[in-house]
Chains A and B, each alone.
Chain A
Amino acid sequence: MRMAHMTEPTVTENDVMAAQPDVDVADLGDSGRDVSSIAVDLPEQLTELGTTVGEVRCEDPYVVAEKVNVHYGDNHAIQNVTLEISKKEVIALIGPSGCGKSTFLRCLNRMNDSIESARVTGQITLGGQDIYSKEFDPVALRARVGMVFQKPNPFPKSIYDNVAYGPRIHGLANDRAELDDIVHRSLERAGLLKEVIDRLDEPGTGLSGGQQQRLCIARTIAVNPEVILMDEPCSALDPIATARIEDLMDELAEDYAIVIVTHSMQQAARVSKRVAYFHLGLLVEVDETDTIFTNPRHKLTEDYITGRIG
């Protein structure tokens, strides 16, 4: 029964990942099936099926997770997840709350390091290098794998300093002119430059929510990373701001690998090329977005995307 009560520990603020036993609260309504039976049956079901269904491998993989397990103390938050992500694609991680998708995302830039009870096993490579090896410095990793968070979190500094912070600490600009250039180009790419060009020295916290989130994206791409992780980047935004961010993701996908965690199936359908469905720490199914939404192979995936779980 442990599975039924498995929760993901809150990583930082409670709202980053609302820890709740997901399946228990799911209202199956007219489907008439007992919720708990799904949870209990699940491990057997998956063992029967072998591992993840669909295609975890991809052409030209850049980020490769092999048999990744994450424990938070006694809690086995991610079990045996294998997934490949190629260099220029948007992959969406979906699944009910507490399914481990955010945890998996945070493994990719070792943000879980700051949680003392977290233990990551298995292997994750970035361009062939093991990111969890001793020689791999998380500072260097995070310069290559940027992250955008659920709640816009600009520094309480000026807009300029927000964007310039990454280049500054990594020494990416040789002089002020170069830094100005990086800041302008990053804001431009994030579609924010026109709105803030006259007030670069005003605090970033004074912007609207959607602008703040685009500022955070600008801040991330200012470091010129290879992969951008997005942890429910639009969940705190209104539909208009969301649409802008989604457009932005389309553009960014030309240059960066984007891994996005989202609760919105529409968003996953709109922005991603592939979709990975997580359930209770297991990677249930990975496939092309169209396939997942039109013809899911796994029963759990189907239940989730049709709204019977979650």
Chain B
Amino acid sequence: MPSSLETRKRVEAGLARRHRRERLFKFSGMLATTVGVVFLGVFFFDLFAKGSSAFVQTHLRLEVEFSADVIAPGGELDIAYADFDGLVRSALRAEFPEVTGRGDRRELYRIVSSSAGYQMQDMIELDPELLGTRQSIWFPAASTVDMYIKGNIDATLDESLRPISDQQIAWVESLRESGFLETHFNRALFSNGDSRDPELAGIKGALMGSFYMLIVTVVLAFPIGVAAAIYLEEFAPRNRWSDLIEVNINNLAAVPSIVFGLLGLAVFINWVGIPRSAPLVGGLVLSLLTLPVIIIASRAAIKAVPPSIREAALGLGASRMQVVFHHVMPLALPGMLTGTIIGMSRALGESAPLLMIGMVAFIVDVPGGFSDPATALPVQIYLWADSPERAFAERTSAAIIVLLGFLLLMNLAAVIIRKRMEKKW
């Protein structure tokens, strides 16, 4: 045994080494954090740099005539068959009278979105008074024009290498100079379903699909998950069966999500016969996916309730159910809700299982219910990322921004709930 002097000496000799190690450890920790933050920064910067421009859209102002000859040839409105596209074309021709060749004219027509005719159709349907009048209307520009205006197309490239021709550029520039070309907020992005034309494509369909799915998921998974957690934690006897169930729940949480998609396909679609691509099936599959998460989180929350509270209630003569509902639940609820929201945000970001149940289809209509064909936000991102048009690239980023926004909101809600409802004892 060393003397106390010896002890002091040895401790002091080792101090420098200890401090060095501590500094090294601190430094490596800081390095790791920095790397993480840098990657996150790069990701967000890239995302916003690419995606923010999708929130605006180039529009052209054209003087169109709701010509009675075209729309109401026999004196009566013939909205379904009238040639609105022709009216838009004649407006373009009137704007650029010097363009005469067939090919040139065809090129000219392509600077405005193909939806322009439909826009006129909708307007006259809403307000038949427009018949026979001339109106100045903002139409969305074609996506190539939009890309050019946003600077996503390099005009110095050879004409054959870019989707917009020199002539079109000249027309667009002249429109811009005369104030007939502006960028407006891209309402279509939030009010339309999917489309083959980027300037018309929106995420509303996907958002509603995700919304309906999450409704199904929360309605199913929260009560079932909480009930299962309470039963397992408070009532179930501890034996081989409950151990087996516990192990399986933990395993289930780690099962790859696409497997749940296969299960949904086999059980809910093929066996039960629920329509494909429906948010109902998606919700059912996502419930299965989130159930283990909710059960595990809820059990942890229940376990965290101090046993002294249970004893106090039991000692007063509360029944087990009263103990659970009067004391355990209120204290465990913040944890349960947090777990549920975390599970929900996982479900919101899930795409793999939805591919298996047909929610990857190209669906233009915004779903109006639980059994309408729908897609979901992450799947919409996947679909757009796959599209060749340049304009879909920025819309993909925009959709990711929206999805991240929702995830952020949900996680924020989880944090707020935890902070607000947590009781100290």
Contact = CB atoms under 8 A, between A and B. Distances in A.
Q: Do A and B come from one complex?
A: yes
A207 to B, nearest CB: 12
Interface in A114-150: 114, 116, 139-143, 146-147, 149
Contacts of B331: 156
Contacts of B423: 156
A203 to B, nearest CB: 8
A155 B312 contact: yes
B425 A223 contact: no
Contact of B316 (A116, A140, A223): A223
Interface stretch (A81-89, A163-171, A182-190): A163-171
Nearest to A166: B316
Contact of A143 (B238, B307, B310, B317): B317
Interface string A48-84: 0000000000000000000000000000000000000
5 tightest CB-CB pairs across the interface, nearest first?
A: A153-B308, A142-B317, A147-B315, A143-B317, A12-B307
Most buried by A among B308, B318, B327, B425: B308
B35 interface: no
Contact of B424 (A111, A142, A156, A216): A156
B323 to A, nearest CB: 10
B237 interface: yes
B307 A142 contact: no
A220 interface: yes
B314 A223 contact: no
A151 interface: yes
Contact of B322 (A149, A151, A169): A169
B312 A149 contact: yes
Interface residues of A, number: 28
B319 interface: yes
29 contacts: A13-B307, A13-B308, A111-B314, A116-B237, A142-B314, A142-B315, A146-B315, A147-B311, A149-B308, A149-B312, A153-B308, A153-B312, A154-B425, A155-B309, A155-B312, A156-B309, A156-B331, A156-B425, A165-B313, A166-B316, A166-B317, A169-B326, A170-B317, A205-B424, A216-B312, A219-B312, A220-B315, A223-B316, A223-B317
Given A153-B312, A156-B331, A169 B307 contact: no
Interface in B81-114: none
Contact of A146 (B309, B316, B327): B316
Contacts of B327: 155
A289 interface: no
A136 B317 CA distance: 13
A141 B316 CA distance: 10
Contact of B319 (A111, A139, A151, A216): A139
A142 B314 CA distance: 8
A7 interface: no
Most buried by A among B310, B312, B314, B315: B315
Contacts of A165: 313, 316, 318, 326
B317 A111 contact: no
A271 B175 CA distance: 100
Nearest to B305: A156
Interface string B319-363: 100100011000100000000000000000000000000000000
A149 B315 CA distance: 9
Nearest to A168: B326
Interface string A152-163: 011110000000
Contacts of B313: 155, 165
A109 interface: yes
Nearest to B327: A155
Contacts of B310: 12, 114
Contacts of A12: 307-308, 310-311
Interface string B401-416: 0000000000000000
Interface in A172-222: 205, 216, 219-220
Interface in B188-246: 237-238
Nearest to A148: B315
B319 to A, nearest CB: 5
